[in-house]
Structure 1
Amino acid sequence: MRVLTSWLRHYLPTLSVTDRQLADDLTLRGIAVEGVHQLSDGHLFEMDITTNRVDAMNHYGIAREAATIYNLPLAPLHPALPIGTLVDQPFSVRIAPEAKGLCGRFTAQVLRGVTIAPSRGRVAEYFDLLGQKQISNAVDASNFTLLGMGHPTHAFDLDKIEGGIIVRLARRGEKLRLLDGTERTLEADDLVVADEKKALALAGVMGGWDSMITPETKNILVEAAWFDQASVRRSSRRHLLHTDASHRFERGADFNAAPLANALVCELILEAGGKLEGELVDVIDPDVAARTANRVPIELAVAQVRRHLGTTLDPEGITAEIVHQYLASLGCEPLLHGLDVYLVKLPSWRLDLEREIDLIEEIARVYGYNRFANTLPTALPVVDYPSAAAEHAVRNRLLQLGFSEAVSSTFASREDADLFYGTDAEMSAGKKTVAMENPLSEEASLLRPSLIPGMLTMLAHNLNRDVREVRLFEHGQVFTGTIPADAGYVSEVHESQQLSLGMTSAEVRPTPLYPAVDAPIFELKGVIESLTSLFVLPGGEAALSFTTANTPAWLEPGRSACALLNHQPIAYFGELASSSKEARKLRQPVYLAKIDLVRLYELPLRRATSHELSRYQAVERDFSFVFADSIVWSNIAEAIHALAISELTRLTPEEIFRDPKGKAVAQGQYSLLLRTVFQSHDRTLREEEIASWSMRIVETLKALGGTQRA
């Protein structure tokens, strides 16, 4: 947001500080000035106003903040309007019953005999400094008022309105051509400003083409209204229209600002000629007024202010006089309700103030956080949360394995959630996605039910910047909801911990056990085995098994697997499905894993132990066998460990060989080079002992169906 200091000083004629000092003081109080640019007259501030402070998204709102900081008088907004021509029948404005609550206030003023011309004076001067496009005095008057005091308005060509104004819901399929020249097909919950025959504007978003101001316009209807935040947001998102007006209405407009904004626009238009016809038409919904402009006052005790904010650098601290001064300057009406207790009536433009603590935060902000003493909080015992040790162990292991930790957005799109959320079994178990009530965009409309979309986004981000070797992990929360049988909405949101792994490499090298094309998949399998080895598995190592059945659709069939802990899925891993890879325009294969940490963290951590190294020589023996593909490594390892040879300290597969042509090794079989290491802690091993153990191993491998190679 761009702000002119010359415009601010128009509202603060007694402001004596420099523009640089003003920028610093505003920033310290949460009205952030991110850039200061020298102009021929004053400076231009580049400002970042948070979404809850819609009242400060204009020059007058920022001037109010400055007046509060420096305890200065703020020039009132008093438009000078001529006396209007009296009419027997005021202009007809009504709010349809179905729009009750969606349009809380609608003001309308008729202007006759106006002159449409280029803007002059302050409007032209300020627009030139801001780089704001000028259209005509009537259109510029609305934009000038929006920039000046923050409330959206609109001017209609009165002669193009048939009958009076009706604020109603659109008819499904109704067409409306907007000011940007596009024709929109409206939905039944779009709020429109219409006449007796047609829609004139998409309420709170954009005006219509058929009633816009042209150089031939002679009579104008000026509108300023209050529209419901959610209604404007729905229409804005549905039609992909984000305008200055919708930006304000979506964040909560000032209910009481409509008459003033209307008068300010009329004043600027009438400077070029014309006259008022009739008085201002002001239609109000009392229910909306009660929950916005006429909210229940808040009780505020000065003692509570001091208790929450603590010691200040000023000896007198925060007094009742300071509290009253700040609140009054911000637009509140503090009435003494007891001994240093105020009953505070809230201003209509500060919908973010709802509780006593909100007022205390405002006092602290205006007072200046830098004016509070640095004190340490009361010491409390620090207790780790239950899974802290397990999280630390998992993170350390992944870092040791060469992965880097990353953090992605907590939100996801509906499309990603449908594609990457769980398996059919999980969906049928009643776990539903959780939609945001007022999402900022379609890409962030849900709380994420899976970490996989975020991981893919981060991998794509690296690949698009020519980073070809990436190994990432994310440890975070995912969100699901439950829907009762008698309700159609999520009644309870559940958080659970999940781990995602992502890998991609431009040059994958083969290993002694696996060809290059399969190596990343088995590396992920090894990572999962390494992570589960940190915990005491019920049933020992045999509790962890793998299957290629029931893998999710986002993994490539035949190149993915599921890790089972006691026959229950605990992780899915493999290569990203080719359809998803093409949709995201990924230039090389991507490998992913999703691990359920809830079940893993229920297990006790394995305690690290150390053993004294043997002083005696270790002896290696290799065995070369041919096995059928149906014999997997777990079968071999379990059979050999069942021999209970205490001196067998290591058992590893050193090489696996398959011959696609079936010559050296028949098809459906593989050749395995098995390495064993024998070592004793109390003696040097004898040759006959090693020969005996080797014979037992050979017999065991033959019993599994293996054929020893010469």
Structure 2
Amino acid sequence: MRISPTWLREFVALDVDNVRLAEDLTHAGIAVEGFIGEGDAVLFEMEITTNRVDAMNHYGVARECSAIYNLELQPIIPKLPKLIQPESFPIEILDPALCARYTARAIRDVRIEKAPRYIAERLLIEAHHGINNVADSTNYALMEMGHPTHAFDLDLLEGGKIVVRPAVHGEKLKTLDGIERQLHPGDLVIADAVKPVALAGIMGGWDTMITPNTRNILIESAWFDPATVRRTARRHSMHTDASHRFERGADWGATTLACDRVTELVLETAGGKLAGYNDAVARKVSHEPIQLERSELRRILGQEIPEPDVTRILRRLGFELTETRASSNGAPEEGVRLALLQPPDAYTVEIPSWRMDVEREIDVIEEVARVYGFNNFANTLPSFSGGVVELPHALPESKTRTRLLALGYDEAVSPTFISTDDAQRFSSSEAVALENPLSEEAPLLRNSLVPGMLNLLAWNFNREATDVRLFEMGNVFSMSSERVEQRKLACFAATGSVGEKGVQLPSRSTDFFDLKGDAEAILNTFEKQSLQFTTPASGYFHPGRSATVVLNGETVGELGQLHPDLAAERKFKQEVWIAQLDLDRLFAVPLREPRYQRLSRYPSVERDFSLLLDNHVSYERLRTAIEGLRIPELESIEPQELFRGAGVPEGKYSLLLHLVFQSSERTLRDDEVSGWSRQVIAAVQGLGGSLRG
């Protein structure tokens, strides 16, 4: 949304420059995101929160300026000629719950032509190009005061009346965008005596639109139920300036003013004469008065706000205040203050019709605080009783995050919502469906962190960032019977080159062992009796370059290369390595405590074994078999060289294994080491292997 500071100054005599004005509006919660243009033609690019429909127009923002700078707000007072011979134009509202008020004015003998320059130029603020002087007048009034209006060709309304009613099954309506729509019984329509002529609060109908042949018009201004407009707009996949405001709650009290303002502009730009007027009120839309206690104002804001500032702010914003004080018997008394120098104990606050978002005392306190200025509050520490309680997993989570950062990964955050396809593809658990999703493309709570991580990588690839290392720690959700289960996972991914680059440091692509090493570095933070990398892993991994991570006999995660088919589907042009760890299971393992171990004074004995093994025998099985011998003096087992090719039989591989024996109590004898070596060879033979000749 865009706002013209020049237009604002027509309502409020501002004596600050545009930069200061933008800063002050932003501090008060009416955010100015940026500037467009220069000089008198400068525009503010605004970000108005959805609850502040009253500020989605120039007059509403001018009201905010009036409160911020304590300046008079010039009222909008349309000047209309006296209606001498009013015509009867009946309005029927069949369901007051759906339409609380409908105001209409008839004008005869208008001239349909281009709007004058001053209207056309202001419509360009929101990139609206002129249609004709009548339609442009309704758009001008919308930008000025924020209440949607519409103009019908009066001669095309059959039966001489307006009926506001739900649509009838089977009815159709061709709207102003040229689309014929099949109406639903839940749609609210504006109809004449015969047919629907508009979708209430959304868009007018094609058959009654203003054309160069139009001579008599009917201007409407109404209040429609927000939920009904929202459902109808969503049902027909429509979003208009009118529906944007009606969906959020328009101003019930502005229907007559908006209708009169458009009428004034039409008479000024298209001529004609007033012919008829009807203001049909089905019910009043308002909030009950709110009691604002000064003690509560002080408790919430943490300091005393001067009474003149409280009344000035609220009255400038349009609230009506009645001061209240406690009588001698404790009952509240309203009216004139008994002691002029003593502030009242409370206020009875009447809510203006354009502020339907203000419903409770805390809302009124927020209004005072934001206009008073959060920068004017003293910096104080909040009162606190009790001790700081550390969450059970705070320490292991902190250590895991620190380790990932030390490994060169950057933390990222992805959306909690994912698509149905991703939920089925990246997890076997049943996803949780949202009752009212923000997007039809992502209607489920995530049951895996992998889809979000892949989207983050794609975002980087699209910006020519090829060396990427990211991690995320977050919750995932799944259905279990009728309950929603929540688990905490960590996902990290690496792609592109690894390590530093330089003249003497040629680049090397990230591979499986880089990712596996990072996973081991994380798991080394915890008490580790055993750590295994087994196969297979989930189907979204490359079948030959992936593994399941098993710590102390329990599966805690998976890692590997993203399956090439998925990479191609997402148009990834480089290998992506990704891992996901179950932090709930991992954090159940105690953190590893550093232990001091004195270095042995006695020499170590090293032995190399050149082994011949079947391809199906993994190094993990070999290491486990040797460790199973439980030789106390066996210090380390390290693979030195792996070879397949000439001299090695088909279906086998050669492995050079380096073992170190050492005692902390004595020097080892040759016969002891030879005996241990024979045990190692026997363990290898138990796996179907042998010493290589």
Question: What is the CA–CA distance in structure 2 between the aligned matches of 1:534 and 1:264, rounded to whole Å?
Answer: 71
* Counterpart for residue 645 of structure 1: 631
* Counterpart for residue 684 of structure 2: 701
Identify which of 107, 115, 127 aligns with 2:111.
115
Task: Kindly indicate whether residue 348 of structure 2 is the aligned counterpart of residue 343 of structure 1.
Answer: yes
Question: What is the CA–CA distance in structure 2 between the aligned matches of 1:105 and 1:685, rounded to whole Å?
Answer: 100
Tell me by how many angstroms 1:564 deviates: 5.2
Question: What is the CA–CA distance in structure 2 between the aligned matches of 1:199 and 1:665, rounded to whole Å?
Answer: 85
Question: What is the CA–CA distance in structure 2 between the aligned matches of 1:144 and 1:357, rounded to whole Å?
Answer: 35
Which amino acid is 1:77 matched to?
A: I
Question: What is the CA–CA distance in structure 2 between the aligned matches of 1:414 and 1:215, rounded to whole Å?
Answer: 50
Question: What is the CA–CA distance in structure 1 between the aligned matches of 2:468 and 2:322, rounded to whole Å?
Answer: 62
Matched residue SS, 1:10: coil
Tell me by how many angstroms 1:455 deviates: 0.7
Question: What is the CA–CA distance in structure 2 between the aligned matches of 1:202 and 1:561, rounded to whole Å?
Answer: 58
Matched residue SS, 1:467: coil
Question: What is the CA–CA distance in structure 2 between the aligned matches of 1:234 and 1:458, rounded to whole Å?
Answer: 33
Query: 1:36–1:593: structure 2 CA closer, same or farther, 3 Å change rule?
Result: closer
Query: 1:325–1:500: structure 2 CA closer, same or farther, 3 Å change rule?
Result: same
Query: 1:197–1:90: structure 2 CA closer, same or farther, 3 Å change rule?
Result: closer
Tell me by how many angstroms 1:349 deviates: 1.9
- Report the TM-score, using the length of structure 2 for normalisation: 0.85
Query: 1:345–1:480: structure 2 CA closer, same or farther, 3 Å change rule?
Result: farther
* Counterpart for residue 299 of structure 1: 291
Question: What is the CA–CA distance in structure 1 between the aligned matches of 2:292 and 2:207, rounded to whole Å?
Answer: 51
Matched residue SS, 2:208: coil
Question: What is the CA–CA distance in structure 2 between the aligned matches of 1:627 and 1:468, rounded to whole Å?
Answer: 39
Matched residue SS, 1:306: helix
* Counterpart for residue 600 of structure 1: 586
* Counterpart for residue 514 of structure 1: none
Identify which of 488, 497, 500 aligns with 2:491.
500
Report if the CA contact (8 A) 2:432-2:444 is conserved: no
Which amino acid is 1:502 matched to?
A: A
Which amino acid is 1:303 matched to?
A: S
Question: What is the CA–CA distance in structure 1 between the aligned matches of 2:172 and 2:557, rounded to whole Å?
Answer: 50
Matched residue SS, 1:299: strand
Tell me by how many angstroms 1:129 deviates: 6.6
Report if the CA contact (8 A) 1:433-1:479 is conserved: no
Query: 1:223–1:382: structure 2 CA closer, same or farther, 3 Å change rule?
Result: same
Task: Kindly indicate whether residue 222 of structure 2 is the aligned counterpart of residue 222 of structure 1.
Answer: no
Which amino acid is 1:51 matched to?
A: T
Which amino acid is 1:110 matched to?
A: A
* Counterpart for residue 274 of structure 2: 276
Question: What is the CA–CA distance in structure 1 between the aligned matches of 2:193 and 2:541, rounded to whole Å?
Answer: 56
Task: State which drifts further: 121-130 or 591-600.
Answer: 121-130
Which string of whole-angstrom CA distances, capped at 9 and with x for unpartnered residues, describes residues 102-140 of structure 1? Answer: 544443333332221222275245346776422211111
Report if the CA contact (8 A) 1:233-1:250 is conserved: yes
Matched residue SS, 1:216: coil
Which amino acid is 2:530 matched to?
A: E
Alignment of 1:35-50 (within 5 A): 35-36=34-35, 41=40, 43-50=42-49
* Counterpart for residue 61 of structure 1: 60
Matched residue SS, 2:247: helix
* Counterpart for residue 408 of structure 2: 402
Tell me by how many angstroms 1:475 deviates: 0.7
* Counterpart for residue 122 of structure 2: 126
Alignment of 1:14-29 (within 5 A): 14-29=13-28
Task: State which drifts further: 196-205 or 400-409.
Answer: 196-205
Question: What is the CA–CA distance in structure 1 between the aligned matches of 2:571 and 2:170, rounded to whole Å?
Answer: 36
Query: 1:650–1:408: structure 2 CA closer, same or farther, 3 Å change rule?
Result: same
Tell me by how many angstroms 1:59 deviates: 0.8
* Counterpart for residue 432 of structure 1: 432
Question: What is the CA–CA distance in structure 2 between the aligned matches of 1:555 and 1:187, rounded to whole Å?
Answer: 47
Matched residue SS, 1:279: strand
Which string of whole-angstrom CA distances, capped at 9 and with x for unpartnered residues, describes residues 324-357 of structure 1? Answer: 2211221222222334211222222223322222
Question: What is the CA–CA distance in structure 1 between the aligned matches of 2:37 and 2:465, rounded to whole Å?
Answer: 41
Which string of whole-angstrom CA distances, capped at 9 and with x for unpartnered residues, describes residues 173-211 of structure 1? Answer: 865544334555666655544455555444433333333
Question: What is the CA–CA distance in structure 2 between the aligned matches of 1:655 and 1:194, rounded to whole Å?
Answer: 86
Tell me by how many angstroms 1:558 deviates: 6.2
Matched residue SS, 1:502: strand
Query: 1:40–1:587: structure 2 CA closer, same or farther, 3 Å change rule?
Result: closer
Which amino acid is 2:382 matched to?
A: P
Alignment of 1:54-203 (within 5 A): 54-84=53-83, 89-95=88-94, 101-120=97-116, 122-124=118-120, 126-127=122-123, 132-163=128-159, 164-167=161-164, 176-183=173-180, 189-195=186-192, 198-203=195-200
* Counterpart for residue 370 of structure 2: 365
Question: What is the CA–CA distance in structure 1 between the aligned matches of 2:113 and 2:404, rounded to whole Å?
Answer: 68
- Structure 2 gaps of 5+ residues are 327-344, 500-507
Tell me by how many angstroms 1:301 deviates: 0.9
Alignment of 1:193-272 (within 5 A): 193-195=190-192, 198-237=195-234, 240-271=237-268, 272=270
* Counterpart for residue 512 of structure 1: none
Question: What is the CA–CA distance in structure 1 between the aligned matches of 2:487 and 2:389, rounded to whole Å?
Answer: 21
Matched residue SS, 1:210: helix
* Counterpart for residue 536 of structure 2: 548
Tell me by how many angstroms 1:143 deviates: 1.1
Report if the CA contact (8 A) 1:434-1:479 is conserved: no
Identify which of 383, 408, 412 aligns with 2:389.
383
Question: What is the CA–CA distance in structure 1 between the aligned matches of 2:663 and 2:171, rounded to whole Å?
Answer: 87
Question: What is the CA–CA distance in structure 2 between the aligned matches of 1:120 and 1:90, rounded to whole Å?
Answer: 30
Task: Kindly indicate whether residue 674 of structure 2 is the aligned counterpart of residue 691 of structure 1.
Answer: yes
* Counterpart for residue 664 of structure 1: 648
Question: What is the CA–CA distance in structure 1 between the aligned matches of 2:356 and 2:586, rounded to whole Å?
Answer: 45
Tell me by how many angstroms 1:531 deviates: 3.4
Question: What is the CA–CA distance in structure 1 between the aligned matches of 2:510 and 2:228, rounded to whole Å?
Answer: 53
* Counterpart for residue 455 of structure 2: 457
Task: State which drifts further: 49-58 or 188-197.
Answer: 188-197
Question: What is the CA–CA distance in structure 2 between the aligned matches of 1:154 and 1:473, rounded to whole Å?
Answer: 52
Work out the number of aligned pairs and report it: 665
Report if the CA contact (8 A) 1:2-1:45 is conserved: yes
Tell me by how many angstroms 1:459 deviates: 0.5
Tell me by how many angstroms 1:382 deviates: 3.3
Task: State which drifts further: 697-706 or 252-261.
Answer: 252-261
Tell me by how many angstroms 1:685 deviates: 4.0
Question: What is the CA–CA distance in structure 2 between the aligned matches of 1:622 and 1:101, rounded to whole Å?
Answer: 88
Tell me by how many angstroms 1:36 deviates: 4.9
Tell me by how many angstroms 1:32 deviates: 2.6
* Counterpart for residue 535 of structure 1: 526
Query: 1:203–1:568: structure 2 CA closer, same or farther, 3 Å change rule?
Result: farther
Question: What is the CA–CA distance in structure 2 between the aligned matches of 1:282 and 1:415, rounded to whole Å?
Answer: 51
Which amino acid is 1:243 matched to?
A: T
Which amino acid is 2:324 matched to?
A: H
C-alpha RMSD of the superposition: 3.5
- Structure 1 gaps of 5+ residues are 312-316, 485-491, 509-516
Query: 1:40–1:19: structure 2 CA closer, same or farther, 3 Å change rule?
Result: closer
Query: 1:443–1:190: structure 2 CA closer, same or farther, 3 Å change rule?
Result: farther
Report if the CA contact (8 A) 2:496-2:510 is conserved: no
Alignment of 1:552-571 (within 5 A): 554-555=540-541, 560-563=546-549, 570-571=556-557
Query: 1:567–1:243: structure 2 CA closer, same or farther, 3 Å change rule?
Result: farther
Which string of whole-angstrom CA distances, capped at 9 and with x for unpartnered residues, describes residues 425-477 of structure 1? Answer: x22xxx52334x362x4455554443222211111112222222222110123
Report if the CA contact (8 A) 1:4-1:130 is conserved: no
Query: 1:177–1:277: structure 2 CA closer, same or farther, 3 Å change rule?
Result: same
Query: 1:197–1:598: structure 2 CA closer, same or farther, 3 Å change rule?
Result: farther
